[in-house]
Structure 1
Amino acid sequence: MFPAENLRDWRGENVIDPDGDKIGDLEAVYVDTMTDEPAFVTVRVGFIGRHRLIFVPLVGATVSPKAVRVRYAKKLTGSAPGIDMDGELAAADEPEVFAHYGLPYEIGPSRRLARR
């Protein structure tokens, strides 16, 4: 996996699916508080004036000069849990984000995801 610091440099760049279809623009990196490794990105999707941020896992993601390629199809990510552009992910909503992608969610002593 690549360091979260490097992913911050990708803010605003394209996030694409395995077929090269654009999902949206990378907005922020969320790290797993149990491992301090990048776990999800929020991706800006929607139409002018009606944008929202969806959560997309970084498991198996790769980077290229102008995009972050994730291993999840655009169709799946389009129905992913999200937040408003100025919103925050509530701790109670974290399990839903993991479940959407079939990823295990372990409850730790505190929140599982933190924006970096």
Structure 2
Amino acid sequence: MQKIQDDNDNILRRQDLITLTNKTNKRINQALQVITVSIMGKIMIRLLPTTNQKVNQARKREKQLKEDNKKRLRYDIPKYRKDRLLETRTSSNRMTTQTTSEQSLTSTSDNKLTHKNTTKSLTFEKI
């Protein structure tokens, strides 16, 4: 009888030990989670400025590219316009040669009208 009761006591002690170890394991795991979260938070806080710097650098690069494109467009468009103006001047010269042949037949008042017509044709060609 004594032996059976001792065995039961041993079983109860073992169960108590198991529950205690389970509880301590849970507490240890919770403490480890808190520690890892705090460490990860500190690491993230340290990493955030570098990521912010990278984002800021990327934004600066985008702004520089936009400004460079604007500058290129500013310089390219006048060249294009100059080419277009040269084309219109040559075409206007052709028109003036045609109008001068017509001018010899018309009076001076009509001469002003033909001049206006050539300027209109220039603006039309620019557009």
TM-score bracket, normalised by the shorter chain, equals under 0.3
TM-score by length of 1: 0.20
| Structure richer in helix, relative to its length | 2
| Structure richer in strand, relative to its length | 1
**Highest Rg: 1 or 2?**
2
TM-score by length of 2: 0.19
